[in-house]
Amino acid sequence: MHVVNIHEAKTHLSRLLAEVAAGDEVVIAKAGRPIARLLAYEEPVAKRRFGRDRGLFEVPDDFDEPLPDDLLASFESSSP
């Protein structure tokens, strides 16, 4: 991160944007006081929408029935 004054930011905007695109952070200052920060743009993460897959999967009627003994045994066996 480095600090530049407004005049330098206006004069060298293309160079500063290239630095930001490369991952650097640039602070623009007026009279030595920070007033803005240039950061690389990041696409916003889409929020998960509850129920968007409704109707794509059907829970079977025997969903909560006990597993068959042979399948249950394969989960419970302690193999190293």
Question: What is the spatial distance between Cα 33 and Cα 26, in angstroms, rounded to a whole number?
Answer: 13
Give the per-residue pLDDT at 76: 84
User: Domain range spanning residue 7?
Assistant: 2-38
Give the per-residue pLDDT at 6: 96
More reliable by pLDDT, 48 or 33: 33
Integer CA distances (angstroms), 12 to 4, 32, 70, in order:
10, 18, 72
Q: How many domains does the chain have?
A: 1
80 pLDDT exceeds 80? no
Q: Is residue 28 part of a domain?
A: yes
SS3 6: helix
For residue range 3-46, what is the model confidence (pLDDT) as tens digits?
Answer: 999 999 999 999 999 999 999 999 999 999 999 999 999 999 88
Q: What is the CATH number of the domain that holds 29?
A: 3.40.1620.10
Question: What is the spatial distance between Cα 24 and Cα 54, in angstroms, rounded to a whole number?
Answer: 43
